[in-house]
Amino acid sequence: MKKSKLLIVLFIANIQILFAQNPHLTGVVKISVLNGTIESDLEYSNLPKLNNYSIWLNAGLNLRYFRDKEDKFNYGNIKYYDDEISNEAFQYYFPDLENKGRFLPEKFKINYVGKFPVISDTLKANNRGDWKGNIAFNGKNIRASEQTAWYPIIYDIENDVALNKVTYDIIIDCIDCESIYLNGSSPVKGKTANFKSDKPISMMLFAGLFDFTKNKNTYFINTDLNSEQEKVLGNWTDKIVEFYENKLKIPYGNSVTYLYTTPISKRNAWMFVTYPTIAIIGQESYNVKSYFTPNTNSLKDNSNIEYFAHELGHYYFGTVIVPNSELRWFFLEGLTEYLALQTVKDVLGEESYRAKIDTYLKETKDYIPKSLATIKNSEIDETYRYYYVPLLVTALEIEVGKEKVWNWLRTVLKSEKLIKTDYDFFKSTLIYSGIKESEFKKFEENYILSEKAKENVKKIVK
């Protein structure tokens, strides 16, 4: 009896330690989707003790002040830009008294404003140039993911971790909106809403003129689907999620929210995830309705299921573990694409699987991949991420067996949060998960270190 009580106390203490590290954000954010403005008056609390950190804030936002928790004085701050760390944000820190180091109070206030181009007419819009990290005003809505740093984000330099998951109690006040959605909460009708989350979450904001529906547990935001079409999409989602849960043995958590909106460029069309939101961005001809044969409830083809498999996989590589360091893109995009490949085989079948492998082979035909052992994160380009990595891991799978690869993926996902996902991590997790040292050596020699690494990968995968 006593023992179990002690255990419960320890358990609760552990939970508190876990939660104590999540920054808490409160305050008011005022928006106009027609003027392209953001005005924020926020307070950050529950901040971790860090002396090697920066505070990210989107480069289009102008700081009014950083201020102490009692509202008595402003903090002096140093501002800089480093696009290797964040392309989107300026970085700030508070110098300590001797001006030698950085100090972070447990709590501070921050106030800032910004005005962004509203691109409602694509006639003069750029062909491309919209991306997840863009604060996008398309004339009807604002779309701002955590990557934009539309809210201040604490970056732990030591561990290369951006603490973008926060608990919040925030009022969004949007003068010309009909609806507002803040990731982690249900969407709300109205010009103003108070959103609260006790669970730490990456804040993606979507507000403006849009409708939303709820089908079972899934929200469909601005997707304009009928309820049968929603069911079709929901069923595919369930199938994919079930496959992942089965293989990775980690429950998926919340049901996803689908969100559609147009880009502020002529041609960008893509999907991204800020869990649990899956955002689909594209001009009207690429909207979610376009996945269906006109006036029916059946999908035109399964190509979008493949994209959804990839995006849903980002719950694991992107949320459960947030890769960083030299192999960030290998783990974040490469392994997610490998997961999607496995899903395609399971839910769509062998033919779709082969077609996907053929695409990877075609896309890497003239590509000269650098060795995974020495590649720098910035060198892991799109071809490497989306086409070469899934081939490389497929070669591993053929060499050591599928079960061992699943074991490895589970090991990676269960590693501690502050670990650096570099080549040492790649190697040590493979060994730890049960791949023999000799098996690894052979794989490394043939497919990573060899002059003919790519040829060897292609040969075995074909």
Which residue ranges make up the site for Zn ion (CB under 5 A)? 333
Which of 26, 33, 27, 40 is closest to 175 using CA atoms?
33
Three-state SS at 132: coil
For Zn ion, the closer of residues 333 and 397 by Cβ is 333
User: In whole angstroms, what is the distance from residue 369 CA to residue 411 CA?
Assistant: 26
Which of 162, 153, 170, 135 is closest to 41 using CA atoms?
170
CB 63 within 8 A of CB 173: no
Q: How far is the CB of 35 from Zn ion (least distance, A)?
A: 33
Q: How far is the CB of 276 from Zn ion (least distance, A)?
A: 15
For Zn ion, the closer of residues 147 and 185 by Cβ is 147
Give the pairing type, strands 141-144 and 205-208: antiparallel
Q: How far is the CB of 299 from Zn ion (least distance, A)?
A: 21
For Zn ion, the closer of residues 108 and 272 by Cβ is 272
For Zn ion, the closer of residues 306 and 333 by Cβ is 333
For Zn ion, the closer of residues 187 and 318 by Cβ is 318
Among all chains, which residue has been given the structure tokens 């996008």?
136
DSSP for residue 252: -
User: In whole angstroms, what is the distance from residue 358 CA to residue 350 CA?
Assistant: 12
Q: How far is the CB of 136 from Zn ion (least distance, A)?
A: 19
Among all chains, which residue has been given the structure tokens 């002529």?
266
For Zn ion, the closer of residues 333 and 422 by Cβ is 333
Q: How far is the CB of 318 from Zn ion (least distance, A)?
A: 7
For Zn ion, the closer of residues 94 and 307 by Cβ is 307
Report the residue count for the chain. 462
For Zn ion, the closer of residues 53 and 244 by Cβ is 244
Q: How far is the CB of 315 from Zn ion (least distance, A)?
A: 11
Give the pairing type, strands 165-174 and 24-32: parallel
Return all residues near 65 (Cβ < 8 A) that are at least 6 apart: 74, 75, 109, 110, 111
Residue 258 identity: Y
Q: How far is the CB of 59 from Zn ion (least distance, A)?
A: 24
Sheet containing 277-281, strands listed edge to edge, beginning at the edge strand earlier in sequence = 212-215, 218-221, 257-261, 277-281, 270-274
CB 339 within 8 A of CB 311: no
